[in-house]
Amino acid sequence: MRLAAWRDPRIALASSRTWRQSPAARSHRERRADKGRRSLQGAQIRQGQDRSLVCQTVAELRAHRLRQAEEQLRLGLRPDGDSFVVAQVDGAPLQPRSLTHEWVRVLGKTTLPRIRFHDLRHTHASQMLSAGVHPKVASERLGHSSIGITLDLYSHVMPGMQADAAEQVDVALQAAISSERKAK
């Protein structure tokens, strides 16, 4: 489960990092794999895995924090920087199945196709690549350990890649031949 607290500098700086479960909740093998990562507020993040957020997302996060703080104050709780961004009304961490249940409930009130909550991740990846975002950037945003994973999973959403590559090579060759002829 990936959790972030408001104190997290990623939120304050309008960027995010891939969070991992707390070390106590992880297996020995997973903890050994975390060498080279640094701890922040008891959670694990990979170094150098910043994800920029757009202004609209930052504005929504700020509005969400304000609503969340107001609700917690009504309950007599004092919100602080360690409060979770996605949390229950009382500030306790949200269980993944609760998010899934709420997703199904909200989706059921619409005419949208029924997809799993996790499928939003795949949609995001597909939209990035279809919009021309470089696969390396998409790979980093998704938290994949290598660009190869991203390309193996999502290259089908870039059907014109071979044709585009051939066209770019052709343009480069024509430019080289043209400049060579002009030089003579």
Query: 134: buried, middle or exposed (CB in 10 Å: 19+, 13-18, 0-12)?
Result: exposed
pLDDT: which is higher, 33 or 119: 119
The DSSP call for residue 157 is G
- Judged against a pLDDT cut of 70, whether residue 13 lies above it is answered with no
Q: Are residues 114 and 139 in the same domain?
A: yes
Q: Is the pLDDT of residue 35 over 80?
A: no
pLDDT single digits (tens) 41-65: 333 445 445 566 678 888 888 888 8
Residues forming beta bridges with residue 16, ordered by sequence position? 51
Both 71 and 23 in a single domain?
yes
pLDDT for res 38: 35
Range of the domain at 102: 95-161
Residue where a domain terminates, one of 71, 94, 117: 94
84 and 23 in one domain?
A: yes
pTM (whole model) above 0.85: no
